[in-house]
Amino acid sequence: MGKLSVSFDGLELNNPIMTASGTYGYANEFDEFIDVSKLGAIVTKAISLYPRAGNKHIRITETEAGMINSIGLENVGIEKFIETKIPELKQNNINYIMNVAGSTIDEYVQVAKKCENEKIKAIELNVSCPNVKSGCLEFGTDENSLYELVSSVRAVYSGFLIIKLTPNVTSIEKLGIAAEKAGANAVSAINTLKGTSINIELINGKYKKTIVQGGYSGKGIKPVAINAISRLYKVINIPIIGIGGIETLDDVLEFFAAGAQAVQIGTSNFTHPNTAERLVEELDEYINKNGFKSLEELKKELRA
């Protein structure tokens, strides 16, 4: 393991830079832009028990400091993922974490069982997507529901279990504690904020309004993410993976200072597909230039 390596309990990463679910794809889609093998890991699109077509209305709109998406967790389903995507991941030697979504506890459990059978070493439970009518956010906003879900998945899945938390709650601390008590190995934070965009046009004296509601992400949510991670760091003992508006090395360092052990790059992948690989290189250069013996030494100094 090198200077940038991250060692969790059951999950080893060559570096702490990952891509976030929903912003990358399934396997090697970004090969044209980056050397995916240089990343700590990719986190796949959310995978559900059955294929999902996603939402029919407007799915993405840009905002002044990010974007709003309402994709609706479109995906190929677990059987197709196992059949077509896992071979691609193995063939290209891509370290991956599979994001899992469901409408009921039973759906999450059934997908987790298949992950166990396929020896998928790490999964991230999506309990925080605001763009679907049932599931996900229903579990992620109540600590008792979250505890029941995580416990149920933990009972059938022995690999590294990450819970992706929502910022759309009063106390993210209660959810982090519930996830840890239920057997999670780590949490990732944050998923998107609920957002609405209204595009107004005056046409022949009448207003035409186009309304897009969904998950708000991008640079504008970084202070919210830093706040959430700082609060979680004080109350849980499992690793925190930081997400939210990361574009630069300074952003990464800020997340480390707040308590994140690793980070995921999300919205920036759409505008600058090489962001994740660039940050790996910049972080390596920064550690060597400033005489740190390891990534852990850097984190320790940032939190002092």
Q: What are 68-123's pLDDT values in tens digits?
A: 988 878 899 999 999 999 999 999 999 999 999 998 999 999 999 999 999 999 99
Task: Give pLDDT, residue 128.
Answer: 66
Mean pLDDT, residues 269-286 taken together: 96
Phi, psi of 282 (to 5 degrees): -70, -35
pLDDT digits (tens, 9 = 90+) for 193-235: 999 999 899 999 999 998 888 899 999 999 999 999 999 999 9
Alpha helices in the chain (DSSP H): 78-80, 86-91, 105-117, 137-140, 143-154, 172-182, 222-233, 249-258, 268-271, 275-289, 295-302
Task: Give pLDDT, residue 3.
Answer: 93
Task: Give pLDDT, residue 137.
Answer: 60
Q: Using CA atoms, how far apart are residues 153 and 140, in angstroms rounded to an integer?
A: 14
- For residues 195-216, one letter each, b for 16 or more C-beta atoms within 10 angstroms of the residue's C-beta and e for the rest, the string is bebeeeeeeeeeeeeeebbbbb
Q: Using CA atoms, how far apart are residues 256 and 15, in angstroms rounded to an integer?
A: 13
The better pLDDT of the pair 268, 2 is held by 268
Task: Give pLDDT, residue 196.
Answer: 93
Does residue 283 carry a pLDDT above 50? Answer: yes
What are the structure tokens assigned to 245, written together? 């508006």
Q: Using CA atoms, how far apart are residues 154 and 49, in angstroms rounded to an integer?
A: 17
Bin 208: left if φ > 0, else alpha if -120 < ψ < 50, else beta: beta
pLDDT digits (tens, 9 = 90+) for 225-267: 999 999 999 999 999 999 999 999 999 999 999 999 999 999 9
List, in sequence order, every residue forming a beta bridge with 210; answer none if it has no partner.
199
Per-residue confidence band for 292, with pLDDT thresholds at 50, 70 and 90: very high
Whole-prediction pTM? 0.93
Task: Give pLDDT, residue 1.
Answer: 59
Q: Which domains does the chain have, with CATH numbers?
A: 6-55+72-193+216-302 (3.20.20.70)
Mean pLDDT, residues 175-200 taken together: 96
Task: Give pLDDT, residue 131.
Answer: 46
Share of the chain above pLDDT 70, in %: 96
pLDDT digits (tens, 9 = 90+) for 10-30: 899 999 999 999 898 898 888
Would you please indicate which residues are annotated as catalytic (active-site) residues? 129
Place of tokens 């550690």: 287
Does residue 57 carry a pLDDT above 90? Answer: no
What are the structure tokens assigned to 116, written together? 């166990």
Task: Count the Cβ atoms, other than its own, within 10 Å of residue 157.
Answer: 23
- For residues 243-280, one letter each, b for 16 or more C-beta atoms within 10 angstroms of the residue's C-beta and e for the rest, the string is bbbbbeeebbebbbbbbbbbbbbbbbbbeebebbbbbb
Task: Give pLDDT, residue 135.
Answer: 46
pLDDT digits (tens, 9 = 90+) for 127-158: 965 544 444 566 888 999 999 999 999 999 99
Rg of the chain on CA atoms, in Å: 19
Average pLDDT along the chain: 93
